[in-house]
Structure formats: C-alpha cells, structure tokens
Copies of this chain bind each other. A is one copy, B any other.
Amino acid sequence: MALGTDYEQQDCSLARALEVVGERWSLLIVRDAFYGVQRFNDFLVHLGIPRAVLTSRLNALVAAGVLRKEPYQQAPLRHGYLLTAVGLELWTPVYALARWGGRHAAPGGPKRLFSHAPCGTDLDLAGACPHCGGPAVPPGEVMMRPGPGASPDVHPDAVSRALARPHRLLTPVGTAAEAR
C-alpha cells in the first residue's frame, strides 16, 4: 500500500487486497488497463507518474498476478501490460469506487458514464445491467463515454483524446491502437 508498505498484522481480506492495489497509483494503473492502455509510455503520459514509480508498480502488479507482460515486438523486445483473469475481477471494486467518487467527490458530476454495450443501458450502482438483468456486466461488454463532469481540454495527449470518445473497455488505445 501506499508507503508503509504493507499491513502484515491486519487479519483482513481488505488489507490483503490493499497490499496489492492500495499503493499510490496502483489502482489508477489498473483503471487505465481497463480503459485499454497497454504500453509503458502510454501509462506514463496519461498518468503523469514518475517513470521509476511506474516501473515499480507495473512489476508489483505483474508479480501479484493482476497484470501480465505480453510481447508485441522483438528487436528490441517490447511488451504491453494486460489484465489477467484475476485483474479483470477487479472491475467490480474499481467500478464501485469510481461510482462513489462520481457521486460524492467530483464537483461537476461523474467524469465518465458506463453502459452495457449490447443493449446500451446505463449500468446500475453494482455494475449490473438493469435491462438485461443478471449479475455484474463483465468489463469487455462495458461501453464508456464522457459524463457531465468531464473537462474537455486538459491533457492533449493521444491517450486522453482517445478516452474522451465513446469507447469499449479493454480495446487498445494509444500507441497500441495506432500500430494496428
């Protein structure tokens, strides 16, 4: 977790989770991975995070089994960072926290809105689709679009611009998308 850097003595599942994703920047990296960010440089410019910290966090998330390194070219060897099955299950807490923040900690309202891609219905608080029913929608079926609190002008980098357009989660953005 941010700083300490662990909660060894805490006999609690929440503390275990925070040891993995509770450090500063970690959850924002995971969020960006859901948004489709895959490459070191894209995380770097989109988050504005120091390089050394990004290196450390990505390695920690890979070691924890949340992300995996996937080579996308040889010579020189380069790899993207993709969510594993374990990482994909973080969608529920990430979505719940973002919804809470959008309602109680964001002055202009939610920055982004989420809907069920097949039917277009906005997700409820638990991340499920009120129209289709069933449990929480898997992130691959979630469509993201800017909300009323979005600021249009900040951060004119390619990743931010791509994320300002309606976009299905987990589809590549940034350099990885342009290279296709």
Contact = CB atoms under 8 A, between A and B. Distances in A.
Copies of this chain, count: 2
A147 to B, nearest CB: 8
Contact of A19 (B94, B103, B105, B127): B105
Contacts of A125: 92, 135-136
B90 A93 contact: no
Contacts of A155: 9, 11
A28 interface: yes
15 contacts: A2-B24, A3-B24, A4-B24, A9-B155, A10-B47, A12-B31, A13-B111, A14-B101, A18-B101, A20-B101, A22-B24, A64-B105, A89-B103, A89-B104, A126-B136
Contacts of A22: 2, 22, 24, 27
Interface of A: 1-4, 7, 9-24, 27-28, 31, 47-48, 64-65, 86, 89-90, 92-94, 96-106, 110-112, 124-128, 135-136, 149-151, 154-155, 160
Contact of A126 (B1, B4, B21, B92): B92
